[in-house]
Structure 1
Amino acid sequence: MNNSSLKASVIISIYQDVEALNAILYALEQQTEKAFEVIIAEDGQSESVHDYLNNHSFSFLIHHISQEDRGFRKTKAVNKAVAAACNDYLMFLDGDCLPHSRYVEEHLRQRELGRVCVGRRVHLGPSLSKWMRSKPLLLKLLENRLAYLLLSLPLFIDHTKNYEIGFRSRFLHKRQTKKYLNIVGCNWSVAKVDMLKINGYNESLPGVGGEDDDLGWRFNGKNIHEKSVKFIVPVYHLHHIERRADVSTNLRIIEENKTKQLYYCENGVDQYLK
């Protein structure tokens, strides 16, 4: 597939987890809309990731962008991927979230210039997450409404959270479209031209956490507002231990930038544009 026929660029931010990446790429192989490229935004230079990608073939175009592992620098990795994207519409996934088979199709259906499409995730429990990592084809069970309903008790026992997000429903979606939904990095999309209006992620945020909220208020400052795709574009989050550090530092910097109305960050995507 050549670049001119692509409808979207799907950017996946990852860190070392090859097993999860394999499951995500399997889920992307099942997409109902096939005209997209995948950009792996790796915050590190893992040999296992490099070897995996070199030894597997995919039905979609795939690009791998990596960088030296010097602590949490997801914002830099994703900005590099944004700059490298061939398409003018961007979709974002985290390296621990499996997309529904209609993920690309529905994000494209809902896209609007000047809007950010924001979805949500089902937080799978530890036992099912372990199964999904090794057997991602089980995703078909979660996408089947009857099977998903029958699994409600086992999922509850396994400590699955946000279970309701897994029910794709136009009715449920329409009932909450007026509610504000903030950006979460695991499931959102935006036109590249709108991303460039705020210069992407702010790489001057040193810690983990708050970087997606930072995008939100800067988008709003440029009159680019969130559009909920909750209940029509679910993703399934694989359980893992939370990794957060220096969030207070990020929040302090964000508040200072809000006061100064710095919607276009100085340390962003533009440094990677040719």
Structure 2
Amino acid sequence: MKYILFIIITLTTTFSFSQEKDKAALLAAKKANNYVYEGNNLINEDDFVSAEKEYRKAISEQGTSVAGIYNLGSSYIKKGSFDEALYRLDEAAKISTSKAEKHKAYHNIGNVLMENKKCKEAVEAYKNALRNDPTDEETRYNLGLAKICADQQKDQQDDKDQDKKDDKKDQDKKEGDDKKDQDKKDEGDQDKKEGDDKKDDEGKPKDEKDDKGKGDEKEKQQQPQPRPGQMSPQQVKSLLEAMNNQEQKVQEKVNAEKQKGTKVKTEKDW
């Protein structure tokens, strides 16, 4: 009996707590909706600052208030704060439980990305929007524009990449040509230096002097060298010249004696 009574009390308490929780959730949702309503009115009056405050109140009352988050993101779009808009719209898309809400969030995300010239990312956003509502022709039209924009951006990027490659190729070629010119200049300077080093103080090539010396040495080597015990050609020549001189002296003496009438001895004395 006590056990049954305990169960009844527990169930009653749980039911009462659940009712209170539901009442609090309903009250929070009602307050959130009121704040969203006020925010929408302020947006229509172009009072973005006050509208932002009301939407934030709605989110504070009910963190899962898709309307509050979504409208806050939309207000950022009108204000031109695209980064904040993307953050809030992405948040709304994630917490949304209905396809209609997700479709609206992704559609607006695509619009913001197009404003930021992020066409490739916008294509994916519009595709997500169509996954949640394939019948929306406006989203389909925007997807087509995003694809065209993405293709153009890709072509432009490809052209830029090609221009960079061409510029680098031209730069490499120029550096190569400059290096070749410098190598030729260095080689010419080296040849000139070596040529100058080969000249003597009079400006004559050293090779000529060296060759001349080598020629004299070669000529000496080609002249016959006297063998031991023999006179050299120079010594023979000197001896012949001495003998001729002596013979000439004798002849002059003979001629002188003839003129005096003296008989010349033709034989040697013993």
TM-score bracket relative to the smaller structure: under 0.3
Which structure shows the bigger proportion of residues in helix conformation?
Answer: 2
**Which structure ranks higher in relative contact order (CA pairs < 8 Å, sequence separation ≥ 6)?**
1
Normalising by structure 2, what TM-score?
0.20
**Between Structure 1 and Structure 2, whose CA radius of gyration is higher?**
2
Which structure shows the bigger proportion of residues in strand conformation?
Answer: 1
Normalising by structure 1, what TM-score?
0.20
